[in-house]
Structure 1
Amino acid sequence: MAISELAQAYPQHVAELVRRSTIALERGGFDHLVVPSGTVHYQVFDDRDYPYAVNPQFKAWAPLTRSPGSWLVFTPGNKPKLVYLQPFDYWHVVPQTPSGYWVEQFDIVIIRKPEEALQHLPANAARCAILGEAASALGDYLPDNPAAVVNYLEYHRAFKTDYEIGTMREATRIGVRAHRAAEAAFRSGASEFDIHMAYCIAACQDANELPYHNIVALNEHAAVLHYTELATTPPEEIRSFLIDAGGSFGGYASDITRTYAADRDSEFQALIDAVDVAQRQMCDEVRAGFDYRELHLGAHLKLAGVLKDFGLIDMSPEAALETGVSNAFFPHGIGHGIGLQVHDVAGFAESDAGGVIPRPDGQPFLRSTRTLEPGMVMTIEPGVYIIDMLLDEIRNGEQAGSLNWDRIDEFRPFGGVRIEDDVVCTDGAPINLTRNEFTAQGG
């Protein structure tokens, strides 16, 4: 989506936030919504700061990710107010004066010192729902995160506006461009660290700007689900490459995983292809009315079928799921909501008033249990791995004879396979943001 299209969609986005916030304040019995952008934190016994992370409740309103000490104020019936800290500072780059397509939606006040914000916040803090971290407290304005307000806003955050989907398309465009550069670096024999650097250069984002730490794994390292060590020298033999990395745009994230074989004619490539076919089927199940828990359990059955086809297990997919064997090869959830946060909130919310929808028995790492509805954006990320600590539990149990251990040994040097796309649920067929962008970029 071009900037001009984002500009056209943005007023409707703010109008939707106004509508949701008005209802949330009524639910909580408050007159005002007050949202600090967050503050800079420092390491203990040191003067080094941690990378600043903006409050998601703040960046939901405005595409500002580097504005600590600022505040958003919304009072029903009034235009939203942005209290924007632009300090006098010769040690650091000062945030630029707000400009662009979004500023017309706010009354903007520039302050030079954090405490000056008090002049522009509502007179009675007790009548405010204040959403943020305790470290953002200013005078009487201590974030209290009232449950009625937070539950409502976070539940409805699952339903993306056209503006939000547009920003996520841009985040996907950045991520796909960088993924293609990372694959090229892998094919050239680069180390994990050098692949990571190639990714950052192509994305034009450093590690603190990316939505999460890049997972760049060669060979057996792909069996570590969140491998982020970034070895600086390549292995003597490069067999496989798994990369889980995204991009950021306007405060929104993309989350993309691809797996590659060094030898495109190998059995490992065939395994990648089989997981890819299953993953595309799962993406097509992102349909309105479909229970995400069933999508996850169905993923186990599909992946167990792949394991059986490749001779890794000798049991039916149903038996593999029932006995927990499939969990040893696929130990994480099928995916999660994504948007302002990589693992977006309210994945288990029963309603906008609270409550929890439980995970299926035996599936402790699934991150969402909601029924899919139009506007939701979900990741679909099946994986098959050779993780010894999990397989050893099977080896020492009653299902040991149902696994082909020699065959497992053959695939162990490759680590594993994971493929992940970001998929929009609609009133009809799903929109695969990731696949569409790979196609648009020529592969």
Structure 2
Amino acid sequence: MTAPDLAMLYPQHIEQLLARTAQALQRGGFDHLVVPSGTLHYHLFDDRDYPFATNPQFKAWVPLTRNPGSWVVVTPGQKPTLIYLQPFDYWHAVPEAPSGYWVEHFDVVVIRKPDEALQHLPRDAARCAILGEPQSTLGAFVPNNPPAVVNYLEYHRAYKTPYEIAMMRQATRIGVRAHRAAERAFRAGASEFGIHLAYCQAAGQDASELPYNNIVALNEHGAILHYTERDHLPPKPARSFLIDAGGSFRGYASDITRTYAHDTGGEFQALIDAVDAAQLAMCDAVRAGFDYKQLHLDAHLALAGILKDFGISKLSPEAALETGVSNVFFPHGIGHGIGLQVHEVAGFAANDSGGTIAKPDGHPYLRLTRVLEPGMVVTIEPGIYFVDLLLDGLRQGPHADAVDWDRIAAFRPYGGIRIEDNVACTDGAPLNLTREGFAANAA
């Protein structure tokens, strides 16, 4: 995706944001939308700052992710304003003047000190919906995050514009390139830490630039869903490798998981292949009008069927779901929305005024309960894990005889399997951004 391509897509994106903002402000009874980029946060009792994270409401408008102290102001019927902090500073690199395909769509005001923004913000802060963290307060401009405005904007943020899909495609290409490097490092015998470094090098992003903390897990560590310890020495032998890691592109994220077996001809590889085939079928179910909650339950049935096929479970898929046995091996949700945030907002929103769509009983970790519609981008990430804590609970419970414990013991040293793609819902067949990315970057 080139800059000219983004330049063609951006005008429609900004028009969509302007239309949503006008409606949101009308609902909230405000005249202006004011969005700070955010401010640096500092360690207590120290002068070191935490890595800066841009306000998602800000980067929805402009592809700026390293610009604390800046503001976007939107007044319906007027060209939006970007108040851009370009400080006098010889301690740090000063951001260059705004440039690129998006700049012409804003009145850009450059300031040298954060307080100078007050000269360019609307006169009456009480007439403004100010979206941000309390630390972004400037004079009378205290973030109020009015629910009517936030609910509307976040609900509709689920529907990605073509420009946003293009940005996410670029984030996917970065993530895929790094995943290829990570697999090569694993097969060369690297440690978890070494694999992580190889990933960052290939992505061209350090840990603070990536969309989330890389999960790099060898052997039994694959059974820890959010494992981020990264041992500096490789295990002996290295049996398996699970990596959950993404890439960032101008504020947008990809979220990709793959699992590999050291022995590509063994039974664990066969289990990976079975989960991969099931995952592809789940991705194909990302269709307009389909309830994401049902997709999650269908995933349990599919994975329970695999467990039975491999002699791990003795129950039918339906019985494994009903008794909760499938939750022991698949203890998280099938996925979530993704975009400006890895776990995109409004996953449970009943409508653009608020309200909540409940999760299915017995499935507390599902992060999205909405009906799929064109423009939504979701992750599909089924998994099978051998988690000691959950297995001990199963062994001590009423369904201990529902599984073959010898088969579980054989798979336990491999930790677990997760396969995750980012899939866009369309008016027809889904668009699998992740598989597209891997096909374009063949090993």
Q: Which amino acid aligns with 1:420?
A: E
Equivalence for 1:373: 373
Equivalence for 1:98: 98
Q: Which amino acid aligns with 1:159?
A: Y
- Inter-partner Cα distance in structure 2 for 1:266 and 1:85: 57
- Inter-partner Cα distance in structure 1 for 2:152 and 2:112: 34
Q: Which amino acid aligns with 2:392?
A: D
- Inter-partner Cα distance in structure 2 for 1:96 and 1:392: 56
Correspondence 1:263-282 to 2 at 5 A: 263-282=263-282
1:345 equivalenced with 2:345 (yes/no): yes
- Inter-partner Cα distance in structure 2 for 1:231 and 1:97: 42
Equivalence for 2:221: 221
Once the two structures are TM-superposed, the CA of residue 2 in structure 1 deviates from its matched residue by 2.1
Once the two structures are TM-superposed, the CA of residue 8 in structure 1 deviates from its matched residue by 0.5
1:195 equivalenced with 2:195 (yes/no): yes
Equivalence for 1:283: 283
- Inter-partner Cα distance in structure 1 for 2:247 and 2:106: 27
Equivalence for 2:62: 62
1:109 equivalenced with 2:117 (yes/no): no
The CA deviation string for residues 131-188 of structure 1, in whole angstroms up to 9 with x for no partner, is: 0000000000000000000000000000000000000000000000000000000000
Q: Which amino acid aligns with 2:35?
A: V
Superposition RMSD in Å: 0.5
Q: Which runs of 4+ in 1 moved over 3 A?
A: none
Once the two structures are TM-superposed, the CA of residue 316 in structure 1 deviates from its matched residue by 0.5
Q: Which amino acid aligns with 2:28?
A: G
Equivalence for 2:431: 431
Once the two structures are TM-superposed, the CA of residue 95 in structure 1 deviates from its matched residue by 1.1
Equivalence for 2:332: 332
Q: Which amino acid aligns with 1:438?
A: F
Q: Which amino acid aligns with 2:404?
A: N
1:182 partner SS: helix
Once the two structures are TM-superposed, the CA of residue 391 in structure 1 deviates from its matched residue by 1.1
1:322 equivalenced with 2:322 (yes/no): yes
- Inter-partner Cα distance in structure 2 for 1:373 and 1:134: 34
2:155 partner SS: helix
Equivalence for 1:83: 83
Q: Which amino acid aligns with 1:295?
A: L
Scaled by the length of structure 1, what TM-score is found? Answer: 1.00
1:227 partner SS: coil
1:180 partner SS: helix
Equivalence for 1:18: 18
- Inter-partner Cα distance in structure 2 for 1:95 and 1:332: 41
Equivalence for 1:49: 49
- Inter-partner Cα distance in structure 2 for 1:432 and 1:180: 18
- Inter-partner Cα distance in structure 2 for 1:2 and 1:331: 40
Q: Which amino acid aligns with 1:88?
A: F
- Inter-partner Cα distance in structure 2 for 1:442 and 1:50: 37
Equivalence for 1:312: 312
- Inter-partner Cα distance in structure 2 for 1:378 and 1:406: 36
- Inter-partner Cα distance in structure 1 for 2:374 and 2:176: 24
- Inter-partner Cα distance in structure 2 for 1:344 and 1:66: 20
Correspondence 1:172-211 to 2 at 5 A: 172-211=172-211
Once the two structures are TM-superposed, the CA of residue 236 in structure 1 deviates from its matched residue by 1.5
2:163 partner SS: helix
The CA deviation string for residues 199-256 of structure 1, in whole angstroms up to 9 with x for no partner, is: 0000000000000000000000000000000111101110000000000001000000
Equivalence for 1:130: 130
Percent pairwise identity: 72
Q: Which amino acid aligns with 2:282?
A: M
The CA deviation string for residues 101-126 of structure 1, in whole angstroms up to 9 with x for no partner, is: 11001000000000000000000000
Once the two structures are TM-superposed, the CA of residue 374 in structure 1 deviates from its matched residue by 0.1
The CA deviation string for residues 42-96 of structure 1, in whole angstroms up to 9 with x for no partner, is: 0111111100000000000000000000000000010000000010011111111
Equivalence for 1:169: 169
The CA deviation string for residues 366-399 of structure 1, in whole angstroms up to 9 with x for no partner, is: 0000000000000000000000111111101110
Higher mean C-alpha deviation, range 113-122 or range 389-398: 389-398
Scaled by the length of structure 2, what TM-score is found? Answer: 1.00
- Inter-partner Cα distance in structure 2 for 1:252 and 1:67: 16
Equivalence for 1:357: 357
Q: Which amino acid aligns with 1:356?
A: T
Equivalence for 2:417: 417
Equivalence for 1:397: 397
1:243 partner SS: strand
1:286 partner SS: coil
How many aligned positions are there? 443
Correspondence 1:228-247 to 2 at 5 A: 228-247=228-247
1:378 partner SS: strand
